[in-house]
Amino acid sequence: MSLQSLTVLDHHYQELRNDGQDVIQGLSATPKTLPPKYFYDDYGSQLFEKICELPEYYPTRTEASILKQYADEIAAITGCCELIELGSGSSTKTQLLLDAYQKIADCCTYLPIDVSGGILKDSVVHLQKKYPDFSIHGLLGTYEQALVHLETNYLQSRMLFFLGSSLGNFTPAECDSFFNQVARTLQPGDYLLLGVDLQKPKDILEAAYNDSQQITDAFNLNMLSHLNWRFHGDFDINLFRHQAIYNEAEHQIEMYLHCQKSHWVNLKSLDLEVFFEVGERILTEISRKFNLVTMQKQLEGKNMKTLKTWTDDQGWFGLILSQV
Ligand code: AVJ
């Protein structure tokens, strides 16, 4: 991979100098919370890739089936533009879209954005081989860092992908400011392709986040291992248990790390000591489940008009193509 193929948006992120204010805030709050971006160190991203292949975890496979069926139609609507993806991970599903764009244009730009350097580098190398005529450039950083970068580096018309229902990690308030930030990176005529997980019965949802191989357990607990290496911490992951429940009133999966024994945890480089009570939980993630019509209205409130939506036969997952 050439050096120009990856831009590190925050040179501190890979180092321990990430200031970790969000960790201090979350662990000092009652109840305790941690931001889901800390799932994704390189090992966490590998675990997430495994989750995507689990029999119980339907979202990835369902979204891929929709993309498989409609990628050509999506590419035909937007035509060639700069393809940008927030939270690209391994870009596996995205290749269905890249294939479609390759058919209609001989040269396209693709900018995958992720917080995991390892998986981002590997996928850029792989994609450059697979799509030699594409200009592929990875951006290593958080959504916020990437959106700020994109706002000030507008080159050509854009199609922003936000797939996999990553949007589900945001509270309604965070979602609102995220859409505002997205809107600032797009010009009139630009597109947003949003993949959202839809509301469905509790048993299906809870199975998807409590898989029988316990990969999701490992994924959740790995957040503490990540904090240990990043902030010189001494979390003992054996003192916590994974728990995922569907909160039907809020239409969201809530993932917790449930403390099994009262103890202190020290995060040296954050100068933080935290006491955990037995039975206390850390909320590590919400994964909201959406209603397609409500989501379209919300986008319209942000001046993004729906051009078309697609779902699978069971109505489990939705794709919305909107235009500014
Ligand atoms: C990547 C946020 C969409 O919420 O389903 C998978 C993360 N957490 N299993 C999701 C996740 C537990 C995933 N998102």
The pLDDT tens digits for 156-168 are 999 999 999 999 9
The ipTM of this complex is: 0.99
Q: Which of 48, 86, 115, 213 maximizes ligand 1 atoms within 8 Å of its Cβ, making it the mutation to test the pocket? A: 48
Q: Report the alpha-carbon distance of residue 191 to residue 19 in Å, rounded.
A: 34
The pLDDT tens digits for 290-300 are 999 999 999 99
**Which residue minimizes the CA distance to atom 14 of ligand 1?**
166
Find out whether the peptide bond into 31 is cis, omega within 30 degrees of 0: yes
Closest atom, ligand 1, to C-alpha of 87: 1
Ligand 1, CB cutoff 6 Å, lining residues:
51, 59, 164-166, 168-169, 209, 216, 219, 285, 287
The pLDDT tens digits for 206-243 are 999 999 999 999 999 999 999 999 999 999 999 999 99
Is 86 within 8 Å of 160 (Cβ atoms)? yes
The pLDDT tens digits for 278-317 are 999 999 999 999 999 999 999 999 999 999 999 999 999 9
Concatenate the DSSP letters of all residues of 156-203 into one string: S-EEEEE-TTGGGGS-HHHHHHHHHHHHHH--TT-EEEEEEEBP--HH
Angstrom distances, CA of residue 186 to CA of 69, 144, 178: 27, 15, 13
pLDDT of residue 19: 80
The pLDDT tens digits for 128-146 are 999 999 999 999 999 999 9
Distance, CA 294 to ligand 1 centroid (Å)?
Answer: 21
The pLDDT tens digits for 162-210 are 999 999 999 999 999 999 999 999 999 999 999 999 999 999 999 999 9
